[in-house]
Amino acid sequence: MTHLKRAGALLAVVLLAAFVVPRIIPVPDDLISFGFHKVDEAANEQFWASLPMQYANPTVCNDCHQDKSSSWTLGDHRAVSCETCHSPANDHIAGKGLPAVDTSRDFCGTCHSSLISRPANFPQIDIGEHGGQNTCVPCHNPHDPREGMPPRLPHSMEGRENCQSCHNPSEPLVTVPPRVPHTLEGRENCTSCHGTTEARPTALPRIPHSLEGRDNCLLCHNTSAIKPFPENHTGRTTDTCRNCHQPAG
């Protein structure tokens, strides 16, 4: 059966040539690595882990730009990273040019133009109507967009439908809660300018104790008393405390 032996030998040679030899002879590492299911995972992980970055983060920006970041940290854009608008900063940090800023209406509109799909409590404007066709920056400081704007309400609107019951513009004696400093003519809807707290909840401190037998708040909380109210509360009377502060629980 010589022919079968020769065929077997030929087969062995072919198998060696096809499978084994490419592994034994030196071949480029990236073409063939040895073993079943083998990428060099550790090396590849390290490759991905050590790629260069384009985006830094606000902490890095703050190192040089405190002037901007001080107003940014207080404003409504404080949750927006610098590079969201200024584009990636690492080239700039490395001294290669300034991050580009797009100040067009359309750019602000990417977030703030009114869309039915956007969460209702997110500030949106009709990009075609709002403020003519001017750019946004002259009116809105992008780092603190509500700077110079009517103040937000510090309290929730729940159970307080009638603003004037507290903030009466025609009764100069009542100075606290703050009096409305402007006329109400043509300004029926207060919340159209004075944003509600839903967008920025600033919970007012609740009264930590029961009110039983404690009708006179000022007994304890007057300026000269044992636990005075804050300095900006001048002119408050016992009647007005519970306009804002509710007992806990």
Partner 1 sequence: MKISRRDFIKIGAKGLLAGVAFSSVPFLLQGLVKNSSRAIAADGGGLERHNWGFICDNEKCIGCGRCVVACKKENKVPWEPEFNRTWVERYIITEDEKIYVDSPNAGRDGFQDFPPKLDVPESEVWKSFFVPKLCNQCHRPPCVTVCPVGATYQTHDGVVLIDQDHCIGCRYCIQACPYGARFFLPELGVVDKCTWCYHRINRGLIPACVEVCPVGARIFGDLNDPAGTLKTTLAQKRFYVLKPELGTEPKVSYIGFEKGVY
Partner 2 sequence: MTGFIFPNEGVIEWDLLIVIYPYITGLVAGAFVVSSLYHVFGLTRLKPVARFSLITALAFLLVTPLPLVVHLGRPERALEMFLTPNLTSAMSAFGYIWFFYLIILVAEVWLVFRPDIVRYASSSEGTRKTVYTALALGMNTLTEESLTVDRRLIKVLSFIGIPVAFLLHGYVGFIFGAVKANPWWSTPLMPIIFLLSAIVSGIALLIVVYLIVTRLRRAEVEHRCFHFMALWLGGFLTVGVVLEGLEVFSMLYEQEESWQIISQLLTQRIAFTYFGIQFVLGSLLPLLLLAATALFKMEERFKTGLAFLSSVLVLIGVFAMRWNVVIGGQLISKSLRGFTSYAPPLWGLNGIVVASIILLLPFIVLAVLIYFIPPWQEEIKPPERRGLGYRASGLR
Cβ proximity to partner 1: between 43 and 211 the closer is: 43
Site membership for partner 2, residue 44 (CB under 8 A): no
Q: Which two tokens stand for residue 65?
A: 């730009």
Binding piece for partner 2, criterion CB under 8 A, among 26-34, 63-71, 213-221, 225-233 = 26-34
The count of other CB atoms within 10 Å of the CB of residue 89 is 21
Instruction: Give the chain's length.
Output: 249
CB distance 101 to 170 below 8 Å:
no
49 binds partner 1 (CB under 8 A): yes
What is the rounded distance in angstroms from the CA atom of residue 203 to the CA atom of residue 217?
20
Closest distance to partner 1 from the beta carbon of 60 (Å): 10
Binding mask 133-162 for partner 1 (x = CB under 8 A): ------------------------------
Closer CB to partner 2, residue 117 or residue 192?
Answer: 117
Query: Which tokens go with 24?
Result: 């034994």
| Distance in angstroms (rounded) separating the CA atoms of residues 29 and 38 | 12
Find all residues with CB under 8 Å of 171, minimum gap 6, and list them. 179
| Candidates 34-42, 51-59, 77-85, 200-208; binding stretch for partner 2 (CB under 8 A) | 34-42
Is 206 a binding residue for partner 2 by CB under 8 A? The answer is no
Q: Give the separation between CA 249 and CA 246, rounded to whole angstroms.
A: 9
CA 98/CA 83 separation, integer angstroms: 12
**What string marks each residue from 19 to 48 as x (binds partner 1 by CB under 8 A) or -?**
-xx-xx-----x--xxxxxxxxxxxxxx-x
Which positions touch partner 1 (CB under 8 A)? Answer: 2, 5-6, 9, 12-13, 16, 20-21, 23-24, 30, 33-46, 48-55, 57, 77, 79-81, 83-84, 87-88, 109-111, 113, 115-119, 122
